[in-house]
Amino acid sequence: MNIAINEIIKNYESDNEKTLNNLAKLLNFGKLGGTGRLIIYPVDQGFEHGPDRSFSINPEAYDPHYHISFAIDAGMSAFAAPLGMIESGFSTFAEKIPFILKCNSSNSLTSIKDQAITGNVKDALRLNCIGVGFTIYPGSEFNFKLIEEACTLFRKAKEAGLITVLWSYARGNMSKKGETAINIISYAAHMACLCGAHVIKVKLPTSYIEEDATKDAFVKNNIKIDTAVDRVKLIKKSCFNGKRIVVFSGGEAKNDNELFDEVKAIKEGGGNGSIVGRNCFQRPRDKALKLINSIINIYKD
């Protein structure tokens, strides 16, 4: 194992060998393997937003194989998806890319800020996954339930040698703008670490500070949050002073250049990488490959 990866892995002080091996698999796979950076390809948008809203712009994307094959060809670090999608490509793509089983999902047919558990550790093991993913909604009226479900899942996952990825999205008890506010995302990221996640997934925060009891600290203690780099640094700090892997999903980027700027900020701020879904499968395959290639090159630079 190279030194960069070793540095990251040794921060996971309580995990068993199997889990650390799976973490190493994640960090050593794909074109960013060995760099300490990673890029995960998630496809749960069919659940969250519906198949047509997600895939009709690029109809090949209705096919699960399209996605897994794309993730492999693009040199991504891992493929994350709900149960049915991973089942669908299980034997065709066995051992060709690390799978992460997304174990709960919401949908847009309902407005309840909760999620349904669709997968568990047994499923993840059956499907040869390296880990499990889960979403919590800090601030939602279901936040305690979701946190408990995450911790229960993660306990079993670690016991079974799997890694754990926590999508931490603040919802409910805040303004819409507040969902991506720097103080909120920082809080949500820290909570994810305390829940014992190996990898924390948050949205790239804005410089907006939600009006709440945590706001004062930003002013009084001069926390730097003006640039995206500053904000990525703060999130990494909130994640056990950088001891946990943090990946970011798209912020306010409107076009590819803005997206690249975000990636550069993640890199410079010490973020571990990106999780990119819609920006890939909602454009033609060749263009998506090019996009990911550019992102990878930024991280590798």
Residues 189-218 that bind a second copy (CB under 8 A): 189-191, 193-197, 212-214, 216-218
- When the beta carbons of 160 and 294 are compared against a second copy, the nearer one is 160
Choose the binding region for a second copy from 30-38, 186-194, 255-263, 270-278 (rule: CB under 8 A): 186-194
One-character DSSP codes across 43-102: --HHHHT-HHHHHTTSGGGGSHHHHHHHHHHTT-SEEEE-HHHHHHHTTTTTTTS-EEEE
CB of 31 to a second copy, least distance (A): 26
Q: Is 53 exposed, middle or buried (0-12, 13-18, 19+ CB in 10 A)?
A: middle
- In the complex, minimum distance from the CB of residue 278 to a second copy, in angstroms, rounded to a whole number: 12
Residue 67 vs 267, nearer CB to a second copy: 67
Q: Please, which residue, 14 or 255, has the CB nearer to a second copy?
A: 14
Does 221 help bind a second copy (rule: CB under 8 A)? yes
Instruction: Give min distance, CB of 1 to a second copy, in A.
Output: 17
Single out the catalytic residue among 158, 201, 203, 236. Answer: 201
Q: Does residue number 23 form part of the binding site for a second copy (CB under 8 A)?
A: no
How many chain residues interact with a second copy (CB under 8 A)?
Answer: 95
Cα separation, 53 vs 57, in Å, equals 8
Q: Give the separation between CA 168 and CA 179, rounded to whole angstroms.
A: 11
Binding of residue 64 to a second copy (CB under 8 A): yes
Kindly identify the residues of this chain, within the stretch 42-61, that bind a second copy according to CB under 8 A: 44, 46-47, 49-53, 56-57, 59
Which of 4, 84, 227, 258 forms a contact with a second copy (CB under 8 A)? 84
284 binds a second copy (CB under 8 A): no
Contacts of a second copy in 237-256 (CB under 8 A)? 237-238, 240-241, 243-244
Which residues from 91-150 bind a second copy, rule CB under 8 A? 91-92, 105-112, 114-120, 122-123, 126-127, 138-141, 143-145, 147-148
- State which residue, 66 or 299, has the beta carbon closest to a second copy: 66
The contacts of residue 188 (CB under 8 Å, 6+ apart) are 138, 168, 169, 170, 202
Instruction: Give phi and psi for 74, each to the nearest 5.
Output: -80, -10
297 CB neighbour count, 10 Å cutoff:
12
Rounded Cα gap, residues 225 and 16, in angstroms: 36
Active site residue 201: yes
Structure tokens at 148: 């408990």
- Is 151 near a second copy (CB under 8 A)? yes
CB of 293 to a second copy, least distance (A): 26
CB 200 within 8 A of CB 245: yes
- Residue 168, classed as helix, strand or coil, is strand
Q: Does 228 bind a second copy (CB under 8 A)?
A: no
| Contact between 93 and 72 (Cβ < 8 Å) | yes
Q: Which helix (H) or strand (E) holds 22?
A: helix 17-28
Q: Are 39 and 30 in contact (CB under 8 A)?
A: yes
Q: Which positions are catalytic? A: 201
